[in-house]
Amino acid sequence: MSDVLAISLLSMQQDMARLERVSMNMANATTPGYKREVAMSLPVGTHAAAGGFTGAMRDAAASLGAPTGGARTTPGSFMVRPDLRPGTLKTTGQSLDVALATPGYFEISTDTGLAYTRQGSWQLDGRGRLVTPQGHPVMGVGGEIVLSRPNPVIDATGQVFESRPGGGAEATPIAQLKIVRFDDPSALLRLGNGLMSAEQAPTQVPDAEVQLRQGFLENSNVSSMQEMSQLIQSMRHFESMQRVALGYDDMIGAAVRKLGDLG
């Protein structure tokens, strides 16, 4: 294959990958705690390790709040990175809605193992357990969190108190939400429903570094205007590369016909 056609094809493939990320981001623009994804093209032979990025690529990765870890890339490859910048907080007034105002993740128990999320929209199941909308138990430092009464009080450090029948909270906490963090959060894998899995072991965040907001949810950090701008830019670039490929194909066809006339 000609170098011109190969470069055009790789460029169009990268544009399609960007469009996939844009569509996913737009679909989750109203999903609490969602972190947008960005597809970044990498030059041939670029190292994705910390020492491999230079100039604008290092600045772009750092601006997303993501480490620049990874492996050597192949020609025409691209890297998908999550944008780890926090979203704004919105008030809901619901006692079972909790938002993290600091870096970290809630730990969730699923049928396939532990998972992690920043979505704090929870409910109580029939056994009084604090669970996600899909029924997965929210983990505390001592295990599952079980309440005997609805409308708990959760303080800024994640301590969970039972509510009193007449209002207020009991003096003694019954549980402590488990908040964890990762050395490389960009390595987390999406599982769907706002959950992520990790191969690396998490570290529990000290209470002094936790800031929770009860009655709030974290908004997605997707900007519709930014995504639309990326959509238009990717489509225009795709069309340009398509014209290059078609123009080159027409040029080769004309050259072949000319050679035929000369023969």
Q: What is the pLDDT of residue 1?
A: 52
User: Whole-angstrom Cα distance, residue 246 to residue 250?
Assistant: 6
Task: Give one word for 95, left, alpha or beta, with left for phi > 0 and alpha for psi -120 to 50.
Answer: alpha
| Nearest-angstrom CA–CA distance, 236 and 240 | 6
Q: Which pLDDT score, from 0 to 100, does residue 150 have?
A: 85
DSSP 8-state class, residue 112: T
- Asked whether the beta carbons of 75 and 49 are under 8 A apart, the reply is no
**CA dihedral sign of residues 136, 142, 148, 152:** negative
Closest CA to 50 of 42, 59, 58, 40: 58
Q: How many CB atoms lie within 10 A of CB 122?
A: 21
Q: What is the pLDDT of residue 156?
A: 94
Give the HSE-up count for residue 63: Cα atoms under 13 Å, Cβ half-sphere: 8
Q: What pLDDT is recorded for position 210? A: 92
> What local confidence, expressed as pLDDT, does residue 158 receive?
93
Q: Give the pLDDT of residue 77.
A: 63
CA 123 to mean position of chain CA atoms: 23
Q: Residue 263 and residue 259: Cα distance in Å, rounded?
A: 6
One-letter amino acid at 83 equals D
Residue 136 has what pLDDT? Answer: 96
Contacts of the segment 69-77: beta carbons below 8 A, 24+ positions apart: 69/184, 69/186, 69/187, 72/45, 72/46, 72/47, 72/48, 73/42, 73/43, 73/44, 73/45, 73/46, 73/47, 73/48, 74/44, 75/10, 75/44, 76/10, 76/13, 76/14, 76/44, 77/42
Average pLDDT by stretches of 10, the chain with 263 residues: 75 85 90 85 51 42 41 52 87 94 93 92 94 94 92 93 82 92 84 87 92 94 89 88 83 80 67
Q: In this structure, are residues 122 and 130 in contact, taking their beta carbons and an 8 Å threshold? A: yes
The pLDDT score that the predictor gives to residue 249 is: 78
Amino acid 111 reads D
Q: Is the dihedral of CA 156, 161, 162, 165 positive or negative?
A: negative
What is the structure's pLDDT at 56?
42
The sign of the CA dihedral 180, 186, 188, 193 is: positive
pLDDT of 86: 87
Q: Is 246 exposed, middle or buried (0-12, 13-18, 19+ CB in 10 A)?
A: exposed
In contact, 157 and 102? CB cutoff 8 Å: no
What are the structural domain ranges in the chain? 3-85+221-262, 89-218
Question: What is the structure's pLDDT at 62?
Answer: 44
What's the pLDDT score for residue 75? 41
Residue 48 pLDDT:
45
Amino acid in position 148: S
